[in-house]
Structure 1
Amino acid sequence: MQRSVFASFGREAFFEGHVHAPRMLGGLPRGRVRYGNLKATVVQVPGLSRARVEIDRWIAFRSHFGIESF
């Protein structure tokens, strides 16, 4: 299996990894995808809740591929 290595943990690397992941994993995930740290996609964490305000680019990206993150 070929693996990709990224020099940073920034947004560009995060999105590029998501573009290549379906090919590496044999398809798109079904249903929800659990993320441990979405720092690259989160603009704000309101109060002490688990809610997150995501960047527009991530919302558009995950909507296009049908990814529901939690």
Structure 2
Amino acid sequence: MPAFRLALPLALLRPSALARLPARLLAAQALARSRRSLGRLDDHILRDIGLTREQAESEALRAAWDAPMHWKG
């Protein structure tokens, strides 16, 4: 009989990784929402926070999983 293997990475099979999954999904959703909001800010508000329109649009287009490592803790 052939042995069947799950196509999931081993890290996802650990209980601690599964327990953190909902929190990671919520964090990715919040990051995506924040980035969309950043892209909708007026130019004068962007100047107040030290960003150009191009920087804000570039950040707004980044994927939710594209976050700095220190955010992923």
Q: TM-score, normalised by structure 1?
A: 0.26
More helix by proportion, 1 or 2? 2
